[in-house]
Amino acid sequence: MASSGSGVQIGLRSVSKRYMTASGDAVDALGEIDLDVAAGEFVSIVGPSGCGKSTLMMLVSGLIPATTGTITVGGVPVKGAGGKAGIVFQRDVLLDWRTVFSNVMLPVEIKRLDKETHLKKARDLLRSVGLAEFEEKYPAELSGGMRQRVAICRALVQDPGLLLMDEPFAALDALTREQMNLDLQRIWLRDRNTVIFITHSIEEAVLLADRVVVMTSRPGRIADICVERIRRHFMALGVLSET
């Protein structure tokens, strides 16, 4: 993989989202948002729960349409799902009826990508997260951290220009979470996908991201785009070392 990066550039212009509930009420989940993410950039989004972080991710993936505004991924306006994004949710949503390996190959099957090259890719990915011996196991036999690793491999096997992660490590214990952060960091340094990483943890956001986007509560808006200030803060605390 070229280390110069396979990431794509993302642009949001006055994007907002209003949900209509079954009872006919309107919920303004997302206010008007402008956001640019450079190709190969790692952006974290933090904010109170219910502020529209997941909504933002769904909009970028094209799974739900925006109420106003335009979203471009790789310079192309997003129209419907089936694009360039690999997605990781908080729940790993592995398919119980498939083995680990077959779970990772799911995008290859659905997108009808070339089997041969991706078999090797899937195997390499699983090895890189220490799951080589678990290829033929069923998800029920894996721990939570292992399952989420499989979910990440599944997102990565399709060479996504964009990786969307919605609180992927929130359900894991602190130690596993730290290990996952390191794994993710390593993978990103190698592949340089564009990553949008939603989290509750400011530490996690600062540790991983080039840039941290802070959102306000509903309807969600971007309150602050910061990184240097938070980084300085943590450096002063001695949590982060200068690199």
Partner 1 sequence: MAIAATTAAPVKIGRLRSWIVNSGPVLGIFAAIFVLWELGCWLFKVPDFILPSPSVIIDKIISSWWLLLVNGMVTAQEIVLGFGMSVAIGIPLAVLAVYSRIFERVAFPFMVSLQTIPKVALAPILVMWLGYGILPKVMVAFLISFFPIVISAVVGMRSAEKEMIYLVQSMGANELTTFLKIRLPKALPSIFGGLKVGMGQAVVGATVGEFIAAEQGLGYLQLISQVRLDTALLFAAVVVLSLLGVLLFNLVAWVERLAVPWNRMRTEMIE
Ligand X SMILES: Nc1ncnc2c1ncn2[C@@H]1O[C@H](COP(=O)(O)OP(=O)(O)O)[C@@H](O)[C@H]1O
Q: What is the DSSP letter of 137?
A: S
Q: Is 142 in the site for partner 1 (CB under 8 A)?
A: no
Residue 145 makes contact with ligand X by CB under 6 A: no
Q: Is the CB of 63 or the CB of 240 nearer to partner 1?
A: 63
Contact between 61 and partner 1 per CB under 8 A: yes
Residues numbered 192-221 forming contacts with ligand X, rule: CB under 6 A = 218
| 3-class secondary-structure state, position 222 | strand
Select from Mg ion, ligand X, partner 1, none the partner in contact with residue 31, using the beta carbon and a kind-dependent cut-off of 5 to 8 Å.
none
**Residues near 51 by Cβ (< 8 Å), separated by ≥ 6?**
215, 216, 217, 218, 220
Distance CA 41, CA 126 (A): 24
Q: Is position 20 an interface residue for partner 1 (rule: CB under 8 A)?
A: no
DSSP string, 28-47: EEEEEEEEEE-TT-EEEEE-
Interface positions, 45-84, toward Mg ion (CB under 5 A)? 54
Q: For the chain, report the end-to-end CA distance as a whole number of angstroms.
A: 25
Of 111, 108, 133, 112, nearest in space to 122 by CA: 108
Q: CB under 5 to 8 A by kind: which of Mg ion, ligand X, partner 1, none does 29 bind?
A: ligand X
Sites for ligand X among residues 1-20 (CB under 6 A): 19
Q: Which does 201 bind (CB under 5 to 8 A by kind): Mg ion, partner 1, ligand X, none?
A: none
Q: What share of the chain is helix, strand, coil (3-state, %, to 5)?
A: 35, 25, 40
CB of 163 to Mg ion, least distance (A): 17
Separation CA 83–CA 53 (nearest Å) = 20
Q: How far is the CB of 237 from Mg ion (least distance, A)?
A: 28
Task: Choose which of 2, 4, 21, 97 interacts with ligand X (CB under 6 A).
Answer: 21
158 binds partner 1 (CB under 8 A): yes
Tokens linked to 35: 């956001």
Extract the tokens encoding 140. 């029920």
Residue of the chain from 1, 14, 26, 49 that contacts ligand X (CB under 6 A) = 49
Query: Given the rule CB under 8 A, which residues bind partner 1?
Result: 58, 61-63, 81-83, 85-87, 89, 91, 93, 95-98, 106-107, 109-111, 138, 140-141, 158
